[in-house]
Structure 1
Amino acid sequence: MSSTKLSLTVVQDLCERYSNQKIDYNGVELLSYSLKKSNDAPAGYLGRHEVLSVIIQKKPSEAPQELIFFIKTAPIDIASRQKYIEEFGVFKKEVSVYANLLPKLSKGQLDFSARCYYAKDDILVFEHLGEMGFRMGSDRSGLLDFDHLKCALSSLANMHASSIVFEAKNQLKICDMFPEIVKENAYPAAAHSIRRENFDNGVVALCEIIKIMPEFKASKHLDFILKQFPREMNKIFDFVKPSSKYLNVFSHGDLWANNLLFKYENNRPVQSRIVDFQLTRYAPPILDVITVLTIPTSRKFRSEHLDSLLASYYSMLGYFLKQHGFQINDFLTPQQFEESIREFKEHGLIESCLFSHLTILPTELTESVVSDEGFEDFFKNKRNEICLKAFNTDEVYRSRLSDMISDIVNNYILN
């Protein structure tokens, strides 16, 4: 049973936008509409997902037609989570992204995100990508293979190119036109904030994991590692700032596997869509690129494929810019791109640890975290306990966290 309230006027407007026909009794008739909870799993951490079914009839002689939309709402009925979201600023930001910026960026471009038909207050209404054949590309491990990542990079290059073209044509920067849309809310500069508290607690949990990792628990360097690890993690607060050295673009900022949906032909991904624009920022494109090439991959995979995928992204960015009469060298030369890779490569690993210690928890622990009572309890009290339990009992969690933590420690702390 849904608790979302949609007025008849809103539903009529949705149908009109969807079909480009006036929904009234002289033309298309709106017969009924209903909402139900989405069966998509896992549910969003920072939103509630529902499905809107609308039955219309274009002509009396024609059979009724069902239109299906995907609804995302703020969890206003869950006090602790709503408070977190309001302080975090994610839902208000996402509504603004879909209402004010994405329609302008995607104009004249291939689709890189879901089409949004309504964005206001606490409600977002999208085309239903699941009904269009899109689905997640990974299992609980959160890993994506080469073909999925190349497909995702095409959509990302399209989005970044759209940002560059939009600024070039308007002779204004997105950060000046839409400052609230790209205001940093994932890693804000403020010393005292709910996000800083969340970050600090996450780093503590990761240090507790380091203490029991076979690779480090008996190491003579353990105390040094535990002292340096928080310092390395804190670099992210500088990484995410707009650059005075490199090109900046409208950036997604949240590119883990669940925020990428794929469409398939002959079991191969041929299209992708980027979803959940809650952590958008204005930053060098490599931040998005290295994030999507690190969070859903292993060290071994990156050693074999990272260079190829980075080159693929750069080539696709050039392709999309050329479609609008622009040359990539006028914005980001190969040398600048290579320099940005070296400068921001660690960003992907830091994001991997911060995202994955939560997102790849075993299903039963995830359910306890996203429950009404468990959400606040996890972020304030039980993060260490839950993460250590997952590390000790779940092979997927243990292997993935060990892989990314080891990469940071060996390449940026001990080396």
Structure 2
Amino acid sequence: MGSSTPTPWMDREWLQEIMRDVKSDGHLLVTEHCVTNMGGKGENYLSEMQRISVKTRQSDDTEGEIFMVIKNIPPGKEMQKIIMESTAFPNEIKVFRTILPKYQEILDKVAPGKFPPFAANYIFSEEKETRFLIVGDLAAERFRMAKRQEGLDLDHCKILMKTLGRYHATSVALHDINPSIVESFKENMFTEESSKDFVSNFTKMAIDSVTDMVRSWPECGVRMAGKLETLSSITHDIVKEQLRPDGNRLNVLIHGDLWVNNMLFKYDEETGDVHEVRLVDFQMSCYASFAMDLQYFIHTSPNDMVRARHTEDLLKEYHTELENTLNLLGQGNKSISFHELVEEYESKNLFGFIMSLLILPIIQADPEDAADLETFLSGGDESSSMNSRACNKEFVNVMKRLLPLYEKKGYF
């Protein structure tokens, strides 16, 4: 096995030091290792990722092989500055190191071995000078990403809804035990001051690109474009307000960035049916209404047929698992009716609509049109790729269905 180290400090000695800490064996040897880059353009935005395989020999001559993924800060100078000032890495490390193990402990206490983990297992992290996080490689367990441009079908969406319902219910149970740790996730990059200019400017430019696309539509284009122009100038304030925990029916630790690239699926080897999902990328986690995750996911990740015809079915799937898990965990007094769930969901519709304008073009973009955040932050011209994303045929078809509905509801 050869060694390929895209990041120079990820050498054998560095890996050996980490593995000695992980295995509590000061004499462990790394005998072979391989480091390879992960993800193409349009796959990762707030981090750089590598896949690592390591063969080890422990002091008792036990040999093993470990498959890992490391996330570290992205290479661009401007993006690094924002990430280093944000809660992104500290929050994700806290989720993997503290929150997820507590979730599993809570579930295993009432139903030992029944529920699979929500994510990869935590291995190691560093928060100070060099921020990075190492977790297990889910690809080694045969999990893989769905095809983002196609959108998820109903079966994929239902299994995600069940997992999300259980994830949120377990958050409620942990909040009952230790409210301060759940509520400590006060902000994410949408709301914190350090990323305000970046988020505001990127959001405005993205919506302006959609506005330019809409303006050419016969009959309604000029009217809608005028309304979207007004929306683009206040979008950041709207998102901040909708993420506030005050006044919601049920607050949880939300994933915060629940789009198709941030979930991996496992399939039955014989039938090809999807039967498990794991969540990835918890950098946007924060304490907010459960409906924020639902709005984000439904407006970005299902194919449009599922979004148009099965939104209520997905909410019912989520609600059933939420209620079942709350009752299982002794939190039945926190349960909400399906009617209350729908009311809370609809109260956050503006957030979902905004995510459809910001995230959906990125998901459906061809790789050559993927967002380049470093170019944007460095003052480069991202307008052509933004315009290309806004004019993507699939995105335009979705907007032709959604915009008249949302204009009628008064969202813009």
Structure-2 separation of matches of 1:61 and 1:92:
36
1:90 match = 88
Q: 2:9 aligns with which of 5, 17, 21?
A: 5
Structure 1: state its 5+ residue gaps.
Answer: none
Q: Structure 1 350/222 Cα, relative in aligned 2: closer, same or farther at 3 Å?
A: closer
Q: What pairs up with 1:68-79 in 2 under 5 angstroms? A: 68-75=67-74, 77-79=75-77
Question: 2:231 matched to 1:225?
Answer: no
Q: Structure 1 387/223 Cα, relative in aligned 2: closer, same or farther at 3 Å?
A: closer
1:251 match = 254
TM-score w.r.t. length of structure 1: 0.83
Q: Structure 1 396/332 Cα, relative in aligned 2: closer, same or farther at 3 Å?
A: same
TM-score w.r.t. length of structure 2: 0.83
Q: Structure 1 66/245 Cα, relative in aligned 2: closer, same or farther at 3 Å?
A: closer
Structure-1 separation of matches of 2:319 and 2:58:
46
Structure-2 separation of matches of 1:11 and 1:70:
16
Q: What pairs up with 1:11-410 in 2 under 5 angstroms? A: 11=16, 13-14=18-19, 17=22, 22-23=24-25, 25=27, 29-38=29-38, 42-57=42-57, 65-75=64-74, 77-109=75-107, 110=115, 111-121=117-127, 122-141=131-150, 143-170=151-178, 172-176=179-183, 178=184, 181-188=185-192, 193-213=197-217, 216-217=220-221, 221-222=223-224, 224-230=226-232, 233=235, 235-265=238-268, 266-297=271-302, 300-327=305-332, 329-366=333-370, 369=372, 374-376=375-377, 380-392=379-391, 394-410=392-408
Structure 1 residues 208-267: Cα deviation after superposition (integer angstroms, max 9, x where no partner): 2222345733x5x34643455437845323211113241210011111110111111121
Following superposition, the deviation at residue 30 of structure 1 comes to 3.4
User: Is the contact between residue 253 and residue 281 of structure 1 (CA under 8 Å) also seen in structure 2?
Assistant: yes
Greater CA deviation, 1-10 or 117-126? 1-10
Q: Structure 1 84/58 Cα, relative in aligned 2: closer, same or farther at 3 Å?
A: closer
Structure 2: state its 5+ residue gaps.
Answer: 108-114
Structure 1 residues 72-119: Cα deviation after superposition (integer angstroms, max 9, x where no partner): 1112x4212212323444233322332343332332433112211112
Structure-1 separation of matches of 2:32 and 2:297:
41
Identity of aligned pairs, percent?
Answer: 20
Structure-1 separation of matches of 2:195 and 2:13:
45
Equivalent position SS for 1:131:
helix
Q: Structure 1 310/231 Cα, relative in aligned 2: closer, same or farther at 3 Å?
A: farther
User: Is the contact between residue 48 and residue 72 of structure 1 (CA under 8 Å) also seen in structure 2?
Assistant: yes
Following superposition, the deviation at residue 48 of structure 1 comes to 0.8
Equivalent position SS for 1:140:
helix
Equivalent position SS for 1:125:
strand
Following superposition, the deviation at residue 190 of structure 1 comes to 8.8
Structure-2 separation of matches of 1:41 and 1:262:
21
Q: Structure 1 153/16 Cα, relative in aligned 2: closer, same or farther at 3 Å?
A: farther
What is the aligned-residue RMSD (CA, Å)? 3.1
Structure 1 residues 11-52: Cα deviation after superposition (integer angstroms, max 9, x where no partner): 4554774xxx55455xx6532334222257754111111011
Equivalent position SS for 1:322:
helix
Q: Which amino acid aligns with 2:284?
A: L
Q: Structure 1 174/67 Cα, relative in aligned 2: closer, same or farther at 3 Å?
A: closer
Structure-2 separation of matches of 1:119 and 1:59:
24
Structure-1 separation of matches of 2:122 and 2:407:
42
Following superposition, the deviation at residue 183 of structure 1 comes to 1.6
User: Is the contact between residue 85 and residue 91 of structure 1 (CA under 8 Å) also seen in structure 2?
Assistant: yes
User: Is the contact between residue 49 and residue 70 of structure 2 (CA under 8 Å) also seen in structure 1?
Assistant: yes
Structure 1 residues 383-407: Cα deviation after superposition (integer angstroms, max 9, x where no partner): 4322223444x42343345444454
Structure-1 separation of matches of 2:138 and 2:295:
26
Greater CA deviation, 109-118 or 337-346? 337-346
Q: Which amino acid aligns with 1:120?
A: E
Q: Structure 1 206/86 Cα, relative in aligned 2: closer, same or farther at 3 Å?
A: farther
Equivalent position SS for 2:149:
coil
Structure-1 separation of matches of 2:343 and 2:174:
25
Q: Structure 1 215/11 Cα, relative in aligned 2: closer, same or farther at 3 Å?
A: farther
Structure-1 separation of matches of 2:280 and 2:175:
22
Following superposition, the deviation at residue 322 of structure 1 comes to 2.7
Q: Structure 1 384/401 Cα, relative in aligned 2: closer, same or farther at 3 Å?
A: farther
Q: Structure 1 96/345 Cα, relative in aligned 2: closer, same or farther at 3 Å?
A: same
Structure-2 separation of matches of 1:297 and 1:410:
23
Q: Structure 1 275/215 Cα, relative in aligned 2: closer, same or farther at 3 Å?
A: farther
Greater CA deviation, 86-95 or 126-135? 86-95
Structure-1 separation of matches of 2:60 and 2:19:
21
